[in-house]
Amino acid sequence: MNKPSPSFPRPLADLTGAALGDMLKRQGFASSEIVARWAEIAGPEIAAHSEPLKINWPRHPDETAPEPATLILRVEGPAALEIQHQSAVILERVNRFFGWRAIGRIALRQAPLRRRETPRPPAPPDPAAAGRIAASLPQIEDEGLRQALGRLGAAVKGK
């Protein structure tokens, strides 16, 4: 008799890794780490205006002295000149991340970045509903706690 495999929650990265891995390999990325951790690698100032687009590896690598690759960055138009001036810093940070001189030069492509929309903060709970809920909790003697529970109840009911 076959035992069913244990069912447990798996991280989303495990499920999407295989699907995204093939796409990233076509773009020259050995792993998704440089894309996912670009803000940590390049720094927040640089990452705010750029993102890694592709890594071009040499066609015929020399086994004795491997030729470094070219990192292609998508850069917002106005920031391209500043990113170009910081290319030595970016090269040093990326190669430190890889642990060896993997990248020898940086090429820039000016294009709008794909921005993720920042989620809007939830609307504040209705004060009238919060007051009604707080009034329905006479057994709680602490007024601050009663008001906080009223706001919490209004926020939960509002969804």
Reported as a single tens digit per residue, the pLDDT across 22-78 is 555 554 455 567 888 888 998 888 888 999 988 888 876 566 667 888 999 999 888
Model pLDDT, residue 147 = 92
Model pLDDT, residue 108 = 92
Residue 106 lies in a domain: yes
CB of 124 within 8 A of CB of 72?
A: no
Closest CA to 151 of 139, 132, 159: 132
- Joined tokens for residue 85: 């001036």
pLDDT band at residue 132 using 50, 70 and 90 as cut-offs: very high
The rounded distance, in Å, linking the Cα atoms of 22 and 31 is: 10
Which residue range(s) make up the domain with 78?
18-110
Residue 121 lies in a domain: no
Model pLDDT, residue 90 = 93
Model pLDDT, residue 98 = 84
The maximal CA–CA distance of the chain, rounded, in angstroms, is 80
Q: Are residues 47 and 86 in the same domain?
A: yes
The pTM (predicted TM-score) of the whole model is 0.54
Q: Are residues 144 and 99 in the same domain?
A: no
Q: Are residues 32 and 99 in the same domain?
A: yes
Q: Are residues 94 and 153 in the same domain?
A: no
Give Cβ neighbours of residue 34 (< 8 Å, ≥ 6 apart).
Answer: 41, 52, 55, 94, 97
Residue 128 has pLDDT above 80, yes or no: yes
Model pLDDT, residue 8 = 65
